[in-house]
């Protein structure tokens, strides 16, 4: 239970703030890396997010650990989207032919099984528009309406980007030896 730690952070206890940072930095760093490809950009997003977290923590109402983590993740996602917009990586949403990144860096495991890390790497290889919508929808759980509002795009564009991301991931997964079994053997 993190409530005592949060209360200490809300009182401005620097040691407690460091403990909170240490507890979540790795998970939130991975969230950041899902949106921005480069390590320096991910670190910049993360630092901006932690500044906002500590600035807004006094008004945060703790309910449970899951609610805290969801709040922290939302701040990181928002900061990542702001970073992409500021660096003109968003809006990169077009319904016409968007260049799709080629990847050959991931090797399949035996028997066509992919490790979670390999799937994570494939997601990171998606073009920014595809990757952003895929992450917001499939991983963060936002609806197309919420994604459209956040990214200033139409719901149909969000749906299209998700569909294209899924199609590209399916191609890459098949290329890397993973094929979903469609028939059961008797």
Looking up residue 120, the CATH number of its domain turns out to be: 1.10.10.10
Boundary-marking domain end, from 74, 89, 104: 89
pLDDT in tens, 51-85: 999 999 999 999 999 999 999 999 999 999 989 88
Q: Which contacts qualify for 158-166: CB closer than 8 Å, 24 or more apart?
A: 158/133, 160/95, 161/93, 161/129, 161/130, 161/132, 161/133, 161/134, 162/130, 162/133, 162/134, 162/137, 162/138, 164/98, 164/130, 165/126, 165/130, 165/131, 165/133, 165/134, 166/134
Contact (Cβ atoms closer than 8 angstroms) between residue 130 and residue 103: no
Residue 178 confidence (pLDDT) = 66
Q: Are residues 106 and 185 in the same domain?
A: yes
Total domains present in the chain = 2
Residue 114 confidence (pLDDT) = 53
Q: Are residues 54 and 99 in the same domain?
A: no
Q: pTM of the entire structure?
A: 0.69
Q: Are residues 170 and 183 in the same domain?
A: yes
Mean pLDDT of the 113-125 span = 74
Range of the domain at 77: 1-89
Q: Are residues 103 and 181 in the same domain?
A: yes
pLDDT in tens, 131-184: 999 999 988 889 999 999 988 899 999 999 999 999 998 888 887 666 654 434
Q: Are residues 48 and 6 in the same domain?
A: yes
Q: Is the pLDDT of residue 91 over 60?
A: no
């Amino acid at each position: 239970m993190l409530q005592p730690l949060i209360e200490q952070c809300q009182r401005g206890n620097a040691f407690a703030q460091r403990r909170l940072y240490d507890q979540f930095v790795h998970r939130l760093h991975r969230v950041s890396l899902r949106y921005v490809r480069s390590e320096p950009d991910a670190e910049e997003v993360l630092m901006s997010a932690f500044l906002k977290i500590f600035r807004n923590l006094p008004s945060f109402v703790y309910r449970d650990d899951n609610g805290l983590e969801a709040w922290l993740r939302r701040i990181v996602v928002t900061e990542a989207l702001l970073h992409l917009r500021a660096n003109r990586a968003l809006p990169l949403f077009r319904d016409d032919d968007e260049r799709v990144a080629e990847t050959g860096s991931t090797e399949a495991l035996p028997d066509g099984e992919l490790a979670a890390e390999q799937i994570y790497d494939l997601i990171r290889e998606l073009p920014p528009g595809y990757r952003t919508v895929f992450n917001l929808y499939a991983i963060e759980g936002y609806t197309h309406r919420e994604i459209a509002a956040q990214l200033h795009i139409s719901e149909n564009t969000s749906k299209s980007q998700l569909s294209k991301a899924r199609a590209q991931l399916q191609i890459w997964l098949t290329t890397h030896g993973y094929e979903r079994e469609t028939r059961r053997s008797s």
